[in-house]
Structure 1
Amino acid sequence: MGQKGAETRDRLLDATQELVETGGYFGAGLNQVIAVSGAPRGSLYFHFPGGKDQLVGESVRRAGRAIGDALEGLADSSPSVAEFVEGVLRHLGDRLEGSGWRKGCPVATVALEMAATSDPLQEACSEVYTSWERALRARLDGHPDADDLSVTILALVEGALLLARAHRSREPLSRVARQITALLR
């Protein structure tokens, strides 16, 4: 694929990610994706012959990698697990608040709306969550309950993001950070 094709594909994915994060799967109609991306309709079907589920699935994976990269950066710069988790919550809180409380988790809405009815989207969501669990587990290396703790921490973070978005407040993120710190003692 040439540079122009790659740029068009990226614009389609950027538009899809923006629409899905702010309005969910059903808020990201193909006509909206085309309008937001400025890409020709034919490009959508050229780059994503599997249609909307392929487009949204790739968008979820892409957003998941971006969050995963942030997790890795925070893991490298945090001296303790508690500081790592606090950094993750701060990063996600900054992202959420900076979007006007519209962008929580880039995976959760799709998982809630589509995981029961679309195998490709369920797989995309599962892959992303598994990669985040793996990143958390790696940071918990040596802890006797690393497997269970990585899932618990991820669930607490996801719940805190949902509550923070609903309340338009960072307070749930702060509370969860304190409880995770206590849990890790």
Structure 2
Amino acid sequence: MGLKGAETRARLLDATQELIEGGGYFGAGLNQVIAASGAPRGSLYFHFPGGKEELVGESVRRAGQEIGATMGELAEATSSVEEFVAGVLDWLGDRLEQSGWRKGCPVATVALETAATSDPLQEICSEVYTGWESALRELLTGREDADDLAVTILALAEGALLLARAHRSREPLRRVGRQIAALLR
């Protein structure tokens, strides 16, 4: 694929990610993706012959990798798990607030809307969450409860994002951050 093709594909994925984060799977119609990306309709089917399901799946996978990379950077820049979790929650809060409370988790909405009806999307959402759990588990190495804590931290962060978005307030993220710190002590 040439540079122009790669740029078009990236624009389609960027537009899809923006739309699904703001309105979920059903809020990201193909006409909206085409309009938001500026790409011709034929490019969508060229790059994503599986249609919307493939496009959304790749967008979720890509968003998961981006958040995973940010988590990796924060892990390297912090000296404790508590500091890492606080940094992640703060970054997610910044992202959410700066987007006008539209950008919560790029995986959660798609998982909630499609996990029961689309095996490929369910598998991609599961893959992303498993990757994030693994990253958390690595930070908790040496703890007997690392598996349980990794899932607990992820679930608390996801719930806090949902509540922060619903309330248009960072307070749920702060409160969950304090409880996670207490769990880690």
State the TM bucket, normalised to the shorter chain. Answer: over 0.9
Per-residue deviation, residues 14-34 of structure 1 (Å, max 9, x unmatched): 000000000100000000000
Per-residue deviation, residues 101-141 of structure 1 (Å, max 9, x unmatched): 01100000000000110001001100100000011011111
The within-5 A match list for 1:6-155 is 6-155=6-155
CA distance in 1, matches of 2:65, 2:87: 17
What letter matches 2:90 in structure 1? R
How many pairs were matched up? Answer: 185
Over aligned residues, Cα RMSD in angstroms? 0.4
Identity of aligned residues (%): 80
CA distance in 1, matches of 2:85, 2:137: 12
What letter matches 2:85 in structure 1? V
CA distance in 1, matches of 2:19, 2:82: 33
**TM-score relative to the length of structure 2:** 0.99
How far did 1:35 drift?
0.4
Partner of 2:180: 180
Moved >6 Å (runs of 4+): none
Per-residue deviation, residues 29-77 of structure 1 (Å, max 9, x unmatched): 0000000000000000000000100000000000000100010011111
CA distance in 1, matches of 2:26, 2:147: 34
SS at 1:124 equivalent: helix
Structure 1 runs not aligned, ≥5 long: none
How far did 1:144 drift?
1.1
CA distance in 2, matches of 1:144, 1:80: 17
CA distance in 2, matches of 1:20, 1:80: 33
What letter matches 1:86 in structure 2? A
Structure 2 runs not aligned, ≥5 long: none
What letter matches 2:119 in structure 1? D
SS at 1:8 equivalent: helix
SS at 1:39 equivalent: coil
Partner of 2:162: 162
CA distance in 2, matches of 1:5, 1:163: 39
